[in-house]
Amino acid sequence: MKNKILVTGGDGRFAKILRKNNKKLNLFFASKDQCNILNLNSIIKIVKKIKPKILIHCAGLSRPMKIHEKNISKSIDLNIIGTANITKVCKRYNIKLIYFSTGYVYEGRKGNYSENDPVKPFNNYALSKLGGECSVAMYKNSLILRITMTEKPFLHTKAYSNLKSNFMFHEDLVKILPEIIDQKGILNVGGKSQSVYSFAKKNNKNVKKSKAKKNLSLPLNQTMSLAKLKKILR
């Protein structure tokens, strides 16, 4: 029998795509009502019910990005404290923990960041995800995925031509998830290194080209090295 896998954030964007396209994994999805990550007893209750061998932690706060600047309490609660609670329960019940972090934890200036490069988050969202990483890293039966992904089709009408990244779609991660789920440590996950405009244009021909202004202090080379990922997927 396949290992039971519990997915938090079961009503979130990625979880919906995972539920729709999954063909290989034995998944159980927990909505925020079924698993309140700010309440240890709520997490324990669903864990005792499902008895998973693996927990994929997708729950948390992402968009809009401005909310992490305007409401740091909410960001801290959902991305740091909530993740710490998940880690505590996984440790108590010896459950493998897979945590969805972000490539934004890197400084985003030199590009081609490997998993061993120093981290230097450039906004509060990335800081909150790194805070979550810290608790997960304390638990050795875990995998931290530093992911750069977005919805399909590309949502925005404009895309930066001078900002390089490793964007992939949710569907792309669903395809490779069964191949990486047994890993431990930290793993960069994304697509081809290219400008955001090049990525977006392949999916949405109506996307207009724009340029990020240097005075926005937006890192322009957020690309990650995917050498470790490619080796696993061979």
Domains and CATH numbers, the chain: 4-153+166-192+226-233 (3.40.50.720)
- Cα–Cα distance between 7 and 50 in angstroms, integer? 11
Count of beta carbons in the 10 Å neighbourhood of residue 58: 20
Q: What is the pLDDT of residue 176?
A: 98
**3-state SS assignment for residue 220:** coil
H-only helix segments in 34-123: 40-50, 67-70, 72-75, 82-92
- pLDDT tens, position by position, 201-224: 998 899 999 998 875 667 899 999
Low-confidence ranges of the chain (pLDDT < 70): 1, 215-217
- pLDDT tens, position by position, 50-89: 999 999 999 999 988 899 999 999 999 999 999 999 999 9
